[in-house]
């Protein structure tokens, strides 16, 4: 009989290509999730992922479940939009809940997940209330209208003008005319570690395309280039609206897929809608 604490049953899922290892901690105890994320995220000596997500019992009565997210470098983040959608699918498709409106406790507050279920009883997409964006002055410069919504960050002698938006985790959104030829490996890494971002930062490089979609590539704090970032897509949509590049609803087109974002005028909340997919399940020695 296997000692279930010596091995861990995990589920690999992705949201628009942003892939994580999911573990239900009501069944499996992960004593050191930071080290587990670091070890298991490796594509060569581990499972391979953008990080580790723990699905937990909620510590408060006002929520149904809880999540924690650890980046591939082992650092813990405050929120993960793509993982929130995947957790909704995980809980419903596995029969752990029959709710189609789930309240998910996260380190950055409780988020409502609205599950979209197909005729065959499976979740194909989820809308997450990502709550309100938080803007912060980072060496802001005045825009023509006088509103202070963009700032300059310099790295290696190159200045990047962008908008800082927190969705519970920090993002710096840079609009460019040629996003597909921007050296994200170089500048994403340098910007993540700029002294202007004391907690480091997720960096998005975006370009508004002729069809109105916002083509975006992401350098994630603690994980590097990812195929998509849910909180990042929300930050891009807010920055695009604030700087007059888009309206309050936009499609953010990322390497791994598209996310639909709506920034409500009524409640100032940001709503993100997108896919969630199972990839595979397996067992790995606990650490
Ligand atoms: N991929 C996640 C964001 C992870 C953020 C993490 N890299 C951080 O340190 O904030 C998402 O879909 O929102």
Helices 230-242 and 81-93 pack at an angle, to 10 degrees, of 130
The whole-chain average pLDDT of the chain stands at 93
**pLDDT over 90 percentage in the chain:** 89
Active-site position among 86, 201, 229, 234: 229
Quick check: is 137 in a domain?
A: no
Q: Is 112 annotated as a binding residue?
A: no
Quick check: is 119 in a domain?
A: yes
On whether both 208 and 256 belong to a single domain, the answer is yes
On whether both 94 and 65 belong to a single domain, the answer is yes
Q: What is the pLDDT of residue 100?
A: 98
Per residue, the 3-state secondary structure of 122-185, as one string, reads CEEEEEEECCCCEECCCCEECCCCCCCCEEEEEECCEEEEEEEEECCCEEEEEECCCHHHCCHH
Per-residue pLDDT band for 144 (boundaries 50, 70, 90) equals low
Please name which of 115, 108, 116 lies closest in space to residue 231, comparing C-alpha atoms: 108
Residue 106 to residue 91: CA distance in whole angstroms: 16
Best mutation site among 20, 67, 80, 134 for ligand 1 pocket (most ligand atoms within 8 Å of CB): 80
On whether both 246 and 176 belong to a single domain, the answer is yes
Residue 162 to residue 151: CA distance in whole angstroms: 5
Quick check: is 155 in a domain?
A: yes
Atom of ligand 1 nearest to the CA of 167: 13
Atom of ligand 1 nearest to the CA of 231: 13
- Average of pLDDT values for 95-108? 97
pLDDT digits (tens, 9 = 90+) for 204-260: 999 999 999 999 999 999 999 999 999 999 999 999 999 999 999 999 999 999 999
Quick check: is 141 in a domain?
A: no
Determine whether 80 is an active site residue.
yes
Quick check: is 61 in a domain?
A: yes
Per-residue pLDDT band for 198 (boundaries 50, 70, 90) equals confident
Atom of ligand 1 nearest to the CA of 226: 1
Residue 188 to residue 193: CA distance in whole angstroms: 9
Atom of ligand 1 nearest to the CA of 232: 13
- Average of pLDDT values for 170-176? 95
What is the ipTM, given to two decimal places? 0.90
Quick check: is 146 in a domain?
A: no
On whether both 72 and 127 belong to a single domain, the answer is yes
On whether both 89 and 200 belong to a single domain, the answer is no
Segments forming the whole domain that contains residue 278: 4-131+274-285
Burial class (CB in 10 A: 0-12, 13-18, 19+), 248: middle
**pTM: predicted TM-score of the whole model, two decimal places:** 0.94
On whether both 176 and 103 belong to a single domain, the answer is no
Cα-to-centroid distance, 2 and ligand 1 (Å): 34
On whether both 124 and 202 belong to a single domain, the answer is no
**pLDDT over 70 percentage in the chain:** 94
Determine whether 229 is an active site residue.
yes
Q: What is the pLDDT of residue 4?
A: 52
- Average of pLDDT values for 177-198? 94
pLDDT digits (tens, 9 = 90+) for 49-74: 999 999 999 999 999 999 999 999 99
Q: Is the CB of 202 under 6 A from ligand 1?
A: yes
On whether both 111 and 158 belong to a single domain, the answer is no
Q: Which of 16-20, 42-46, 151-155 has the lowest mean pLDDT?
A: 151-155
On whether both 169 and 118 belong to a single domain, the answer is no
Cα-to-centroid distance, 197 and ligand 1 (Å): 15
On whether both 123 and 164 belong to a single domain, the answer is no
On whether both 126 and 160 belong to a single domain, the answer is no
Q: Is the CB of 250 under 6 A from ligand 1?
A: no
Q: Is the CB of 223 under 6 A from ligand 1?
A: yes
Report the CATH number at residue 236.
3.10.310.10
Task: Answer whether residue 12 shows pLDDT above 90.
Answer: yes
Task: Answer whether residue 145 shows pLDDT above 70.
Answer: no
On whether both 111 and 175 belong to a single domain, the answer is no
Task: Answer whether residue 22 shows pLDDT above 80.
Answer: yes
Quick check: is 136 in a domain?
A: no
Best mutation site among 164, 169, 172 for ligand 1 pocket (most ligand atoms within 8 Å of CB): 169
Q: Is the CB of 230 under 6 A from ligand 1?
A: yes
Q: How many domains in the chain?
A: 2
Quick check: is 143 in a domain?
A: no
């Amino acid at each position: 009989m296997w000692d279930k604490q010596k091995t861990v049953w995990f589920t690999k899922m992705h949201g628009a290509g942003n892939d994580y290892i999911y573990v239900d901690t009501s069944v499996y105890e992960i004593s050191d999730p930071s080290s587990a994320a670091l070890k298991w995220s490796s594509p060569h000596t581990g499972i391979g992922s953008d990080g580790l997500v723990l699905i937990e019992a909620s510590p408060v009565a006002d929520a149904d479940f809880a999540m924690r997210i650890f980046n591939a470098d082992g650092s813990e983040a405050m929120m993960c939009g793509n993982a929130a959608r995947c957790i909704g699918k995980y809980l419903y498709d596995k029969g752990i809940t029959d709710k189609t409106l789930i309240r998910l406790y996260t380190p950055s507050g409780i988020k409502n997940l609205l599950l979209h279920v197909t005729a065959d009883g499976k979740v194909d997409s989820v809308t997450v209330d990502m709550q309100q964006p938080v803007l912060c002055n980072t060496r802001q410069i005045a825009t023509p209208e006088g509103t202070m919504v963009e700032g300059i960050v310099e790295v290696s002698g190159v200045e990047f003008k962008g908008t800082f938006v927190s969705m519970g985790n920090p993002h710096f959104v840079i609009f460019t005319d040629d996003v597909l030829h921007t050296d994200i490996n170089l500048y994403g890494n340098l910007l993540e570690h700029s002294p202007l971002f004391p907690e480091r930062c997720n960096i998005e490089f975006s370009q508004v395309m002729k069809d109105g979609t916002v083509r975006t590539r992401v350098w994630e704090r603690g994980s590097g280039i990812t195929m998509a970032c849910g909180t990042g897509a929300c930050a891009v949509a807010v920055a695009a609206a604030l700087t007059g590049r888009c309206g309050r609803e936009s499609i953010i087109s990322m390497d791994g897929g598209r996310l639909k974002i709506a920034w409500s005028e009524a409640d100032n909340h940001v709503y993100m809608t997108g896919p969630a997919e199972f990839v595979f399940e397996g067992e790995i020695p606990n650490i």
